[in-house]
Amino acid sequence: MRRKIKVVKRLEAKGYPTASPRYAESHDEADNAEKRHYPRAYKELKKIEKHMGRKELLASHNRHGDVTIEYRVPKRDRKDIILHEDTERKADKRLKKKKK
């Protein structure tokens, strides 16, 4: 099965990943993985995030692994975003199993 990657103009923070009670913990875990694998891209994306609205995201994912990326993310940094979203999704699943 192939993952879908979609680029959109604006992505709002609502729905599955951000509404999950485990989001903060899984997001931190994904940030740490991102820092280790792509340190330059991590710094660049944090600069972009500073200029974004509070309810806006650079990327989002669904439970099936499909990733939606905002157009502001440079093409060369999209691998970094995909790593972040995959790590976040896997951490969310792991934390969900752990709390049962």
Of 88, 30, 18, the closest CA to residue 55 belongs to 18
pLDDT of residue 35: 92
Q: How far apart are CA 89 and CA 82, in angstroms?
A: 11
Number of domains in the chain: 1
Q: Which residues of the chain have pLDDT under 50?
A: none
pLDDT of residue 100: 65
pTM, full prediction: 0.82
pLDDT of residue 39: 92
Domain housing 19: 5-99
Give Dmax over CA atoms of the chain in angstroms: 39
How many CA atoms are closer than 13 Å to the CA of 59, on its beta-carbon side?
30
Reading the block at residue 83, the tokens are 């790593």
Q: What would the pLDDT profile of 66-85 be if each residue is shown by its tens digit?
A: 899 988 888 988 889 888 98
